[in-house]
């Protein structure tokens, strides 16, 4: 086993959605700023193998890694904030753990023993952690435990990290617990009791936290920190204020650094702190705070009501806006409720009213809201408004173009109409019979070759790229010649299969759609070129 890697375990208490993912990603970025290397693991207590079959309304977006793992959206924060290269090993669920243990039991690997939570389930959890620690030359492994302490589902994970602390000792393991310190509105008084109860519950499971990260609406006063320190059995300087940031999540690392989070972590391990060196991040934050222009982008989707359903899209748009010194205003439009029902399919009336500079059509599954997306695409194509289609956005664009330009009035996707006579979008032949939905998609990074002289080739400034996919349906190749004869340019092609990866219109100010998800590779300090150029074009159209 790697004898130098240090483990940081992050748990949460009191309530969910306190920001464990963001705080974990922020700590990773700060540790890298001190010159250390790291990897990050998310451990989710749900019994699903992965979130791939979950509704976005249930779980938010599904983030896809380079090797095709469908993971929790927190891995998106980890990759955006740090230089860690994440794979399927960095996303662990209860379902994966039990599936592996039961498979071994059926094979007879346990030689007739009674298979139990301890040691078999906890050993498998520990194995997953040590596998990552041993496979990479890293200084730190950050491990976020999903859910809230006290949930019955997360107990095996808590027990596993307790055992690791017992085995490796304090010098190699740090326990961080994120809690809530609420304020009573009328009195304006902060209350430490929820944090005390949460720590008590954690201690009953055998873990004494080394650092408390206290989410609050303002910096904790000295008397509250002192009280939490006394009752939770840790030094006062290890009670860190995690103050609400209303403007941007990208300001959270600065706030945590100012409150001593990263230096306290390094002090625990007896490591040097030195000056924090994050010049590119500082430059990004400065530009974010001082925009010189404004741009208004409509995101037309079917899961708009949930903030996290298109999380990577929203973040990539921010990265692109900052790259153009612009303040971003995102208008979230529900393709079914707003366009189909409220405006009766009249997208022009809606977009003109909202004064939209650019339109983005994100991915999704199922036929709900599809006609609203098609109406939005029709408006963008006719009115010269920049259009960026992603995954389902490309597929609905092909349908709109086939219907209204190629004259194939009944053009559709097999997904929306299995009996359509003109399926311009269809399943891959080998996927025609799909019994199990999980793992049947084209997932992860695939090569895309760009057509020389095309807009997408000019934007990337390179002949090809590896981009991440998550979809079942493709442009039906027998319709490609018809689409191209009518002016649609298939400017990105997968060299192994000939499948269409990118389409564009040469006569339009900016009209590009991708079968892949470029948002997964965008970072604050390195915005994806397509998002940066889409925002540039939207600003120019506004002018």
515 in Cβ contact with 471 (< 8 Å): yes
Q: Is 540 exposed, middle or buried (0-12, 13-18, 19+ CB in 10 A)?
A: middle
Residue 82 pLDDT greater than 70, yes or no: yes
Give the least confident one: 104-108, 304-308, 488-492, 514-518: 304-308
- Whether 214 is catalytic is no
pLDDT in tens, 395-412: 999 999 999 999 999 999
- Whether 513 is catalytic is no
Domains in the chain (CATH in brackets) are: 6-282 (3.40.50.300), 291-542 (3.40.50.880)
Residue 439 pLDDT greater than 90, yes or no: no
Closest CA to 118 of 162, 179, 173, 181: 162
- Tell me the two tokens of residue 499: 């499948």
If DSSP codes are grouped into helix, strand and coil, which group holds residue 358?
A: strand
Give the least confident one: 46-60, 62-76, 428-442: 428-442
Choice among 391, 448, 490, 513 that is catalytic: 391
pLDDT in tens, 474-490: 999 999 999 999 999 99
Q: Is 54 exposed, middle or buried (0-12, 13-18, 19+ CB in 10 A)?
A: middle
| Residue-level pLDDT at 246 | 83
Q: Would you place residue 543 in the very low, low, confident or very high pLDDT band (cuts 50, 70, 90)?
A: low
The average pLDDT across 434-453 equals 78
The average pLDDT across 320-342 equals 95
- Tell me the two tokens of residue 283: 């430059």
Considering only CA atoms, give the Rg of the chain. 25
The rounded mean pLDDT for the chain is 93
Strand ranges (DSSP E) for 27-89? 38-44, 63-64, 70-71
pLDDT in tens, 293-305: 999 999 999 999 8
Residue 57 pLDDT greater than 70, yes or no: no
Q: What is the pTM of this model?
A: 0.94
Angle at which helices 370-383 and 347-354 cross, to 10°: 70
Choice among 120, 319, 457, 517 that is catalytic: 517
| Residue-level pLDDT at 440 | 58
If DSSP codes are grouped into helix, strand and coil, which group holds residue 479?
A: helix
Choice among 70, 340, 519, 528 that is catalytic: 519
| Residue-level pLDDT at 435 | 45
402 in Cβ contact with 394 (< 8 Å): no
| Residue-level pLDDT at 234 | 94
CA 455 to chain centre: 27
- Whether 391 is catalytic is yes
The average pLDDT across 510-518 equals 98
10 in Cβ contact with 25 (< 8 Å): no
- For tokens 């339109």, the residue is 359
- The widest CA-to-CA distance across the chain, in whole angstroms, is 75
If DSSP codes are grouped into helix, strand and coil, which group holds residue 423?
A: strand
| Residue-level pLDDT at 540 | 93
Q: Would you place residue 187 in the very low, low, confident or very high pLDDT band (cuts 50, 70, 90)?
A: low
What is the three-state SS of 368-401?
CCHHHHHHHHHHHHHHCCCEEEECHHHHHHHHHH
pLDDT in tens, 3-39: 889 999 999 998 888 899 999 999 999 999 999 999 9
Q: What are phi and psi of 91, to 5 degrees?
A: -130, 115
């Amino acid at each position: 086993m790697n004898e130098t890697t240090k483990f940081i375990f992050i748990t949460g208490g009191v309530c969910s959605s306190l920001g464990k993912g963001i705080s974990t990603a922020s700590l990773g970025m700060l540790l890298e700023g001190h010159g250390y290397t790291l990897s990050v693991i998310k451990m989710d207590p749900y019994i699903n193998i992965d979130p791939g079959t979950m509704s976005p309304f249930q779980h938010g977006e599904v983030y896809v890694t380079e090797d095709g793992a469908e993971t929790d959206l927190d891995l998106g924060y980890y990759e955006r904030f740090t230089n860690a290269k994440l794979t399927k090993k960095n996303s662990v669920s209860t379902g994966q753990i039990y599936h592996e243990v039961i498979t071994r039991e059926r094979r007879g690997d346990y030689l007739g023993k009674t298979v139990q939570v301890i040691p078999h389930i906890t050993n498998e959890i520990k194995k997953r952690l040590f596998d990552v620690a041993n496979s990479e030359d890293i200084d730190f492994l950050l491990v976020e435990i999903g859910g809230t302490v006290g949930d019955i589902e997360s107990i095996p994970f808590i027990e596993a990290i307790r055992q690791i602390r017992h085995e490796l000792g304090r010098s190699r393991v740090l326990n961080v617990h994120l809690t809530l310190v609420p304020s009573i509105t009328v009195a304006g008084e902060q209350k430490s009791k929820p944090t005390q109860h949460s720590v008590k519950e954690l201690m009953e499971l055998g873990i004494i936290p080394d650092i408390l990260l206290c989410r609050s609406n303002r910096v904790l006063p000295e008397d509250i920190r002192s009280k939490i320190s006394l009752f939770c059995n840790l030094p006062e300087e290890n009670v860190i204020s995690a103050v609400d940031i209303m403007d941007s999540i990208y300001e959270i690392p600065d706030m945590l650094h100012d409150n001593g989070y990263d230096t306290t972590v390094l002090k625990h391990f007896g490591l040097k702190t030195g000056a924090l060196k994050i010049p590119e991040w500082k430059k990004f934050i400065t530009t974010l705070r001082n925009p010189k222009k404004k741009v208004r982008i409509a995101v037309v989707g079917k899961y708009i009501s949930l903030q996290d359903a298109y999380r990577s899209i929203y973040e990539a748009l921010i990265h692109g806006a900052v790259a153009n010194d612009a303040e971003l205003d995102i208008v979230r439009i529900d393709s079914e409720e707003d366009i189909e029902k409220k405006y009766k399919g009249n997208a022009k009336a809606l977009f003109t009213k909202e004064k939209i500079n650019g339109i983005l059509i994100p991915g999704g599954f199922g036929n709900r809201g599809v006609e609203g997306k098609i109406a939005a695409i029709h408006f963008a194509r006719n009115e010269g408004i920049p259009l960026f289609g992603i995954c389902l956005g490309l597929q609905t664009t092909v349908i709109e173009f086939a219907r209204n330009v190629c004259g194939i009035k009944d053009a559709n996707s097999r997904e929306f109409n299995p009996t359509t006579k003109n399926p311009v979008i269809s399943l891959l032949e080998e996927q025609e019979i799909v019994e199990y939905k999980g793992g049947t998609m084209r997932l992860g990074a695939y090569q895309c070759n760009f057509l020389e002289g095309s807009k997408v080739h000019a934007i990337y400034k390179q002949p090809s790229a590896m981009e991440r996919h998550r979809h079942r349906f493709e442009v039906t190749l027998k319709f490609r010649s018809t689409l191209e004869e009518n002016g649609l340019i298939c400017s990105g092609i997968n060299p192994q299969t000939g499948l269409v990866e990118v389409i564009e219109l040469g006569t339009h100010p900016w009209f590009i759609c991708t079968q892949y998800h470029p948002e997964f590779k965008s970072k604050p300090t390195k915005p994806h070129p397509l998002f940066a150029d889409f925002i540039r074009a939207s600003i120019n159209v506004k002018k």
